[in-house]
Structure 1
Amino acid sequence: MKSFWKNSEALSARLAASSKLLVTLDFDGTLAALAETPGQARLEPALRCVLTALAVCPGVFVFILSGRALPGLRRLVGLSGLYYGGNHGMEIKGPGFSWRDERAVKAKRLVAGIASDLKKRFQPGTGVLVENKIFSASVHYRNLKAAYERGFFSSMKALMAVRSANFYWRSGNMVFELLPHGAVHKGDAVAMLARCLEATGNIAVGDDLTDEDMFSALAGRGVTVRVGRVSGSKAGYFLSGQAEVLRLLRFVAAARDL
């Protein structure tokens, strides 16, 4: 990966040259700093302001693509004129666009049952938070209490070792995610929306393992940026940390003469 800022002149020209630019952004750890619990995450006013400006810029489409469930993501960001992707792209809504992955829809009832079992297994007092996100489930352990660490990781290892025809587990930043086999991921989602919008240019920014899917999908045909320098990332460029995301979005706006 290269430093985004050390290559800013060439990147500015590249972003300006696209007649239709799709700007894809992860939420947690990218647009918003990682919080103790998902419910505590907040979008700072300055970021909200620049997203609003980009959304009304001719030839620019803003796509917030998150592992969160779509309704909660839309409430949290609260801006019109944007495209939103929930559950890593299994559900997408935006101006004149609405789509759901039918494979994920069919798994909804099974997800609810598994999430219910997980909540019984990992009680609130352990510091573990289980989320039923309708089409997927998450097990957050950012606040896991030391006394329960051995039991928690032992349980998760056993769960992840079980082969299933319907689901698979994936690890992220202090989270384990249960995802339906065959459902779309972030790479599929950004590629699909780019085709539908006939985007001629892409910039995608993310900080976690699931964002690597969109970096791979846009390899050679988009600007891909990882928040934090990580060995082995498929992103072409990196930012030092989440605090630089606002600067990057202002940079994109300036490249588009906003």
Structure 2
Amino acid sequence: MTSEEDFGQYLDSYIGDDQHIALLLDYDGTLAEVPDRPELSVIPPETKETLRRIANSGKVFVAIISGRSLDDLREKVGIDGIVYSGNLGLEIQLPDGTKLNQTISEEATANFHKMIEQLTKEVAYNGAWIQNKQIAFTLHYREMEPNLVPDLLVNAKRIIESYGYRTFASHNALEANPPIEWNKGRAAELILSSSFDKNWKSRKVIFAGDDTPDEDVMKAIKGFGKSFRITNGADVLTNADFQIRSVQSVLKMLKWIENKMCK
């Protein structure tokens, strides 16, 4: 577990004298605490203003890659001049407004509402509920009695996969995405390759995330970037280079980056 004072130790020599870096971040559980309901999420003012200063410095490229929908993510963060990516990377919007969204088949689009309807009738009760993100969704079950969860997951996966959608485990939730071979890691690669020249892998890249889908970003930048997994469990299996404890730790990392890059 990386201590609160270790950011210089782990990042100073990595960044070296580079005048520009790329900073990729998850949102829920990284920039903001995970609330009981997604709509209650608020990025702490100090974190938001620190990130805004970093993004406006001209020295740090900032992208946020989240499981939320693109519009929801933009509204929650509210910082101009950065890249936003929603629905686990299916939606990407560059600072100039260009969108690099993944194409979803007509069949998957047609089946989406039927699938939501069936899940609502058959599994979304006893504290389970669906967060509809238009092209994907999250089945939340943190309010359920623990003994009911195993059956919920079996039934939900059966229904979701019968429509061809893919499932991903998350914190007290099940993510469902269209049948496309895509993830946060591939989104990160597309964001970086679209934003920089063909030598984008030579750029210094830092990523922080707290959940299973974030591991795909950690794997994607392994070998040329540095990544942090936010977790309280020292024994968590992760592809991250370092582990830190909390959203507050992320703020400390952002402040270190600001002091390093933006003074």
Please confirm whether the aligned pair reaches a TM-score higher than 0.5, indicating the same fold.
yes
Match of 2:141 in 1: 141
2:49 is matched by which residue type in structure 1?
Answer: C
Shift of 1:209: 0.3
CA distance in 2, matches of 1:39, 1:88: 18
Shift of 1:204: 0.4
Contact map agreement 2:131 2:138 (CA 8 A) in 1: yes
3-state SS of 2:99 partner: strand
Shift of 1:106: 6.2
Structure 1 position 207 matched with structure 2 position 204: no
Match of 1:232 in 2: 237
CA distance in 1, matches of 2:50, 2:7: 22
Task: Give 1:255's match in structure 2, choosing from 231, 245, 260.
Answer: 260
2:239 is matched by which residue type in structure 1?
Answer: K
CA distance in 2, matches of 1:82, 1:11: 22
Contact map agreement 1:111 1:137 (CA 8 A) in 2: no
Match of 1:220 in 2: 223
Shift of 1:98: 1.4
3-state SS of 1:130 partner: strand
3-state SS of 1:33 partner: coil
1:193 is matched by which residue type in structure 2?
Answer: I
Match of 1:196 in 2: 194
Match of 1:108 in 2: 109
In structure 2, stretches of 5+ residues that fail to align are none
Contact map agreement 1:15 1:252 (CA 8 A) in 2: no
Shift of 1:184: 1.8
Contact map agreement 1:47 1:246 (CA 8 A) in 2: yes
CA distance in 1, matches of 2:237, 2:195: 30
C-alpha change, 1:10 and 1:40, in structure 2 (3 Å) is closer
Shift of 1:169: 1.5
2:91 is matched by which residue type in structure 1?
Answer: E
CA distance in 1, matches of 2:54, 2:107: 35
1:77 is matched by which residue type in structure 2?
Answer: V
Contact map agreement 2:168 2:174 (CA 8 A) in 1: yes
Contact map agreement 1:139 1:175 (CA 8 A) in 2: yes
CA distance in 2, matches of 1:131, 1:37: 9
C-alpha change, 1:256 and 1:11, in structure 2 (3 Å) is same
CA distance in 2, matches of 1:186, 1:10: 24
Contact map agreement 1:206 1:225 (CA 8 A) in 2: yes
Deviations 1:212-239 (A, max 9, x none): 0000000011010001245320000111
Contact map agreement 1:22 1:61 (CA 8 A) in 2: yes
Contact map agreement 2:31 2:250 (CA 8 A) in 1: yes
What is the root-mean-square deviation of aligned Cα atoms in Å? 2.2
Match of 1:43 in 2: 43
Q: TM-score, normalised by structure 1?
A: 0.89
Contact map agreement 2:183 2:216 (CA 8 A) in 1: yes
CA distance in 2, matches of 1:192, 1:134: 22
CA distance in 2, matches of 1:52, 1:151: 42
CA distance in 1, matches of 2:76, 2:106: 23
Aligned residues: 254
C-alpha change, 1:128 and 1:159, in structure 2 (3 Å) is closer
In structure 1, stretches of 5+ residues that fail to align are none
CA distance in 1, matches of 2:24, 2:39: 22
Moved more, 29-38 or 92-101: 92-101
